[in-house]
């Protein structure tokens, strides 16, 4: 039957210019067809491919306000799902002159989007962590914990993360020593409270009450010693 003919086919040019005023573009669709049925790759037809864009001029822009969108910025992440943004400007066109004006003047015009999702490449398998928990103690070295997991791009658990790079799941916190609060209204009622302190009698409720100022100072200076005394008395 011979070689099948392959020909370029084009749709009609778009009726409207892409710009409401000034220079813009008109477009059409270009396809390569065989036997008027089969849609082939665009490089399968012989001869130069017809143009699918031509310039057009809608005349001078007079007293026209329009949003101008700048180029998209970089993706917010190097891999995985991120966001990229662009800036907008309200532009006033009049007889070939262009001026940037205050954005509220374009409030009645549909506003282009300023953010869109982006994805440069998969991140692969990596470590994920939760926020740290509250510290277990207010002082004297407590600890806090967080959960660590190895996940894929699809948030599926995996065991292929590098164990050498695993984040810490536990750390010390509130390392400052505990300080006993002194009751400023407390006054020693016993004339020789210094002996009470030296004899370690502050562990008893009676002496702690009548020598409260001296006993409070002892707890502030030597909290660990007093704590050991209390534990010994309790046992």
Rounded (10°) CA dihedral 102, 106, 108, 109:
-160
Is 77 within a domain?
A: yes
Asked whether residue 133 falls in the same domain as residue 168, the answer is yes
Domain that includes residue 74, residue range: 64-119
Mean pLDDT across 93-114: 85
**What pLDDT is recorded for position 116?**
94
**What pLDDT is recorded for position 223?**
46
Is 188 within a domain?
A: no
Asked whether residue 72 falls in the same domain as residue 51, the answer is no
Say which residues have a Cβ less than 8 Å from residue 221's Cβ, sequence separation at least 6: none
Mean pLDDT, the chain, as a whole number? 81
Mean pLDDT across 67-89: 89
| pLDDT above 70: residue 193 | yes
CA distance 127 to 164: 11
**What pLDDT is recorded for position 167?**
94
Is 38 within a domain?
A: yes
CA distance 207 to 203: 8
pLDDT band at 52 (very low <50, low <70, confident <90, very high): very high
Kindly report the backbone phi and psi dihedral angles of residue 227, in degrees, each rounded to the nearest multiple of 5, phi listed first: -65, -40
Is 224 within a domain?
A: yes
CA distance 216 to 49: 94
Encode pLDDT of 145-191 as tens digits. 999 999 987 778 989 899 999 999 999 998 888 765 556 678 888 88
The number of residues making up the chain comes to: 235
* CA 126 vs CA 111, 151, 153, 159, 167: distances in Å: 38, 6, 8, 10, 11
CA distance 161 to 158: 7
Is 42 within a domain?
A: yes
Asked whether residue 39 falls in the same domain as residue 83, the answer is no
**Total tally of structural domains belonging to the chain:** 4
At 234, is the secondary structure helix, strand, or coil? helix
């Amino acid at each position: 039957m011979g070689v099948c003919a392959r020909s370029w086919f084009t749709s009609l040019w778009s009726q409207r210019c892409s710009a409401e005023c000034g220079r813009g573009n008109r477009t059409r669709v270009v396809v390569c067809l065989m036997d008027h049925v089969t849609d082939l790759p665009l490089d399968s037809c012989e001869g130069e491919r017809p143009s699918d864009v031509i310039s057009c001029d809608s005349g001078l822009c007079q007293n026209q306000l329009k949003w101008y969108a700048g180029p998209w910025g970089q993706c917010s992440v190097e891999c995985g799902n991120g966001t990229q943004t662009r800036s907008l400007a309200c532009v006033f066109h009049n007889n070939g002159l262009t001026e940037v004006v205050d954005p509220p003047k374009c409030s009645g015009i549909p506003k282009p989007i300023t953010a869109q999702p982006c994805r440069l490449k998969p991140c692969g398998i990596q470590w994920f962590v939760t926020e740290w928990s509250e510290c277990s103690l207010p002082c004297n070295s407590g600890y806090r914990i967080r959960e660590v997991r190895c996940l894929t791009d699809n948030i599926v658990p995996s065991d292929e993360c590098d164990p050498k790079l695993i984040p810490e799941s536990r750390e010390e916190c509130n390392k400052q020593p505990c300080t006993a609060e002194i009751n400023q209204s407390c006054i020693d009622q016993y004339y020789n409270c210094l002996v009470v302190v030296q004899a370690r009698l502050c562990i008893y409720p009676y002496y702690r009450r009548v020598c409260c100022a001296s006993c409070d100072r002892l707890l502030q200076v030597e909290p660990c010693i007093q704590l050991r005394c209390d534990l010994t008395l309790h046992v």
